Amino acid sequence: MLQVAYLREEKLKAIEGLKKRHIADPEILIDGIISLDDKRKSTQTELDALLAEMNSASKSIGALMQQGKKEEAEQAKSKTAELKSNSKILQEELQKVEDQLQKALYNIPNIPHESVKAGKGEDDNEVLSEHGTKPTLPDNKQPHWDLIKKYDIIDFELGVKISGAGFPVYKGKGARLQRALLNFFLDEAEKEGFKEIQPPILINEASGIGTGQLPDKEGQMYHVPDVDLYLIPTAEVPITNIFRDSILEEKDLPVKLTGYTPCFRKEAGSWGAHVRGLNRLHQFDKVEIVQVQHPDKSYEALEEMSKYIQGLLTKLELPYRVLRLCGGDLGFTSALTYDMEVWSAAQEKWLEVSSVSNFETYQANRLKLRYKDADKKKHLLHTLNGSALAFPRILASILENNQTDEGIKVPKVLQPYTGFDMIS
RNA sequence: AGAGGAGUGGCAGAGUGGUCGAUUGCGUUGGUCUUGAAAACCAAUGUACCGCGAGGUACCGGGGGUUCGAAUCCCUCCUCCUCUGCCA
């Protein structure tokens, strides 16, 4: 969430930023927050004075009791009754204002970075660059959902039987290819200086709030009511929450972590042709990279992460392009996001396989994630993360782009991991 | 899952109704001493909020309650330890 101080000091900037997201009346939102904060301050000042009075009254009662002046003490007691009821009222009022303020802050998305263009939705995203060459496929080319049947490597029907739609079963070389991706991505991330983490994949409410999935966006996460935990939609949630309520030393920055996890998404939204096959699933695998950085260096870090992810795609020999998301498509908590999309040659579609974002202090403020500077002053840190990478669409692209009459060629970098160079 | 015990400042650990935001030790930081270091000694050392400031308020696992007053009493939840049970 944003800081009230920021909204006060940089109000115009904040309004401009929120306009890029096509938010109706940002000024009204911000003014509402500022007046709630004013109310909070005045209520607290009033309450504090009252409590101070009560504290001193209690002290003198204590003193009288010790001196054995019982009657005077009783008299003093009766005087505190009114103070007490007033303080209760104020306390409730303060609580109410604080709740309202927090709710209002939760409802404001992050302010987009200055490079982000206004825009309504994905059609307005900027294509920054395109890399690699799209393969020319034979006329009998097949989309990946046909290829997986042909080679019997992924079984959706079996997944339906066991769980439901969107829970594929990977078999034989399909499973082996998944495992190859897993090891390849983690090995590469470690070479890049990311420390490997295996986090829990069920998270509590506080973690969901910390990274911005909760409140209000319960729709995309599976909830296990029995234990009141959520299945993670991405490893970002447990890994970033490692840092909840922590104060880091400046010298320990940046912190770079990576982790593989399955990811679960309810995706209540659209169904149809564009979600066929591996394009959109309820359960999928992903390696995530997370970085906690000094505010002055976070954009540098974002570029590095973006470059790193592009390097993976190059190594996998997949044609890809890089997008900068427009205000309307930008995630709620992000200030700047690059999407990497790979070309899926039979579907003839770009598929998003990575999203790398700088959240600036938005998550850190919720997480209470700070660092101490040389003067021992505390400041919020910046958090970043990116997919490196999401498996299913990479798989779809590999299958489609590399299909030949003899079978599907496995990218060279994966061959040491798969132990085979062809799926046939 | 059942029975018992426990959760206090960076760590260890005292405190069972009144000047306790909390004794003390360790650690950390600064200083004295020293050629330098160690030791010794002196001093400082939690967080958040309100206030221009003086200062005030809140916080002893979380939440609620009793009381003029709660780290201390009561209720509830969470976590950890021990024993018993179950289990990959």
- In this prediction the ipTM stands at 0.85
A 40-99 residues, CB < 7 A, strand B: 40-41, 44-45, 47-49, 51-52, 54-59, 61-63, 65-66, 77, 80-81, 84
Instruction: Give the phi and the psi of residue A101 in degrees, each rounded to 5.
Output: -60, -45
Q: What total of structural domains would you count in chain A?
A: 2
- For residue A116, being part of any structural domain is answered with no
CATH number at residue A50: 1.10.287.40
Instruction: Give the phi and the psi of residue A376 in degrees, each rounded to 5.
Output: 65, 20
A355 annotated to bind ligand: yes
Q: Half-sphere exposure of A257 toward its Cβ, with a 13 Å CA cutoff?
A: 21
Q: b/e for A109-129, b at 16 or more Cβ within 10 A?
A: bbbbbeebeebeeeeebeeee
A284 has pLDDT over 90: yes
Could you tell me which of A79, A78, A2 has the C-alpha nearest to residue A34?
A: A2
Q: What is the pLDDT of residues A162-214, one digit of tens each?
A: 998 899 999 999 999 999 999 999 999 999 999 999 999 999 988 998 898 88
A66 has pLDDT over 70: yes
CA A257 – CA A383 distance, rounded (Å): 11
Q: Same domain for A155 and A200?
A: yes
* Secondary structure (3-state) at A304: helix
- For residue A115, being part of any structural domain is answered with no
Q: Which domain holds residue A196?
A: 122-423
Q: Is the pTM of this model over 0.80?
A: yes
Instruction: Write out which nucleotides of chain B lie closer than 7 A to a protein Cβ.
Output: 18-19, 47-51, 55-58, 68-69
A269 has pLDDT over 70: no
- Residue A293: predicted pLDDT: 95
**Residues composing chain A:** 424
- For residue A76, being part of any structural domain is answered with yes
CA of A197 to C1' of B27 (A): 30
Residue that terminates a domain, selected from A67, A82, A106: A106
Q: Mean pLDDT, to the nearest integer, of A305-322?
A: 97
